[in-house]
Amino acid sequence: MRPIALPVLLLLAPALALAADRNPSARALADDAVVVDTHIDAPSELLKSWRDLGAATPDREFDYPRARQGGLDVAFMSIYTSPEDDAAGTARQKAHMEIDAVEAMVGRHPDKFAVIAEPRDYARLHQGGRVLLALGMENGAPIGDDLSQLQVFHDRGVRYITLAHSHSNRIADGSYSLDRPWHGLSPFGEKVVAEMNRLGIMVDVSHLSDESVEDVLRVSKTPVIASHSGLRHFTPDFERNLSDELAKKIAKGGGVVQITFGSGFIDAAAAADTTAYFRELARFQRAQTEAKARGETVQSLEDWDAAWDKAHPKPPTKLSQVVDQVDYAIKLLGEDHVGLGSDFDGVSGALPEGLKSVADYPNLVQALREHGYADATIRKVLGANLMRVWTAVDAAGAKLRGGSR
Ligand SMILES: [Zn+2]
C-alpha cells in the first residue's frame, strides 16, 4: 500500500476522530441500555431564556434529537434555586415555574417527552422512543421551614432533593459555604430526611459539607444518592467532591455515586478555582449588601460573574478524566454503586472534549469498553444502578407509610 503523506493524514485525523466518536457498536449499547442522567440543568436555563427543546437546540446541551442520538432514556431535570432566590423569598415560586416549564415541554411534545414519577412506569412511558423527564430538586430552599411542602413537591413529581446548594440553608451546611451553622444537618433537616424517606424521595448529598453527608447517612433509613459529584481523590481538598470514606459509606448503605462531567469537578486546578469562586462570591455578596445598606451604587452580580469568568478560564479537560473517575469509583465502591450525573446546561459549557452534550454518552461507552469493562458493567453505570436505588427508595417509602402508596 502506498504510504499516505503526512499532510493527508493530518487532514484525515479529525474525520477519523469523529468516526471513532460515532462508533456504531457503542451507540447500539447506549441505545439498548437504560441510560439515566441524574443532573441536567435545562429547566432553570429555560426560565432565563426559552427554547423549544423538542427541536435541535445547538446552544444548549440537552434537546430531544441529541438525547435520542446519545441513547438517553431518563433525564433528571434539575429544579434548581439559588441561595439568592432563597434570600429573596422567591425559591418556592421559581421551583414551581421550572416544573411548569418541564410540563410544558411534555405538553408541547407528548410524543417525544413524558414525566416519569415512578420507576415501574418506565417501560410504558418509554414506548415510541420518548425521553423520560424525572424531577430532581437542587437546593431544599423551596421547602422553606414547612415540612408539608415535601408532599406538595412530591405530588408534582420531585423524586430527589439535593438538601443544600452553595450556601448553608435551613436544612444543612453546604460544602462551599464559609458559614457552617449546623455542623451537619439542622434539627429541621433531620425531619426533612425522615419525611423524604417516608414519601419515597431520594436524599441527594451532592453539594453538602462532609458533616452534612455524615448526618444524612446516619439519619436516612433508605439508600442515598450523590446526584452529580466527583471523587476527591482526583481533586484534593475539594469538599464538593466525595472523599473515599464517604463514598464507601454511601455504597455500603445501598446507594449510588453519580459521577459528574464538568471540568470544574474533574480537574484538580479547576476544582480549586471552583471553591475560590464560591468563597469570593460569598464575600462579594456580603460587601454588596453592606454597600446597598449605605445607599451606594454597586456592581451587579452578573457583571461580577462575567469578570470572574474572564479572569478564570476553565482548563481544557478530556473524556479520559471522566473515565478515570468512573474506573476509580467502580474499584472503590463496586460496579453496583456508580452512575452518571453530567451537569449538562449547568457548567457554562466547561465540559471535557468528547462529552459536550447528551449526544455523547456513546463516547463514554466506547472509552469504558476500551478500558476493559464488560457491557454488563457498563449497563449498570449507564442507568441500571440508579433505577435499582430509585425502586428501593420508592418501596421503602411505601413500607414506612404502612403499605399505602
Ligand atoms: Zn450542582
**Helix 210-219 vs helix 244-252: crossing angle, to nearest 10:** 10
> 38 C-alpha vs ligand 1 centroid, how far in Å?
11
Task: Give distance in angstroms: CA of 111 to centre of ligand 1.
Answer: 30
CA separation for the pair 310, 279 (Å, rounded): 17
Would you call 54 helix, strand, or coil by DSSP? Answer: coil
- Structural element, H or E, at residue 229: strand 225-229
Of the pLDDT bands very low, low, confident and very high (cuts 50, 70, 90), residue 10 is very low
Ligand 1 center from residue 184 Cα (angstroms): 18
Whether 60 contacts 45, CB under 8 Å: yes
Q: How many angstroms separate the alpha carbon of residue 339 from the centre of ligand 1?
A: 16
> If you measure from the C-alpha of residue 264 to the centroid of ligand 1, how many angstroms do you get, rounded to a whole number?
11
Domain-wise residue ranges, the chain: 23-265+317-400, 268-314
Cα of 125 from ligand 1 centre, angstroms: 27
Over the chain, what is the mean pLDDT? 93
Please give the Cα distance from 192 to 357 (Å, whole number). 34
CA of 169 to the centre of ligand 1 (A): 15
Tell me how far the alpha carbon of residue 11 lies from the centroid of ligand 1, in angstroms: 39
Q: How far is the CA of 24 from the centre of ligand 1 (A)?
A: 32
Give the domain 23-265+317-400 fold.
TIM Barrel (3.20.20)
pLDDT tens readout for residues 300-330: 988 999 999 899 988 899 999 999 999 999 9
| Grid cell 458559614 in the structure block, residue | 179
d(CA 305, CA 10): 39
Q: Any bridge partners for residue 134, and if so which?
A: 76
CA distance 72 to 159: 18
Cα of 165 from ligand 1 centre, angstroms:
7
Going from the Cα of 78 to the center of ligand 1, the distance in angstroms, rounded, reads 9
Note the pLDDT tens digit of each residue in 231-285: 999 999 999 999 999 999 999 999 999 999 999 999 999 999 988 898 898 889 8
pTM for the whole structure: 0.92
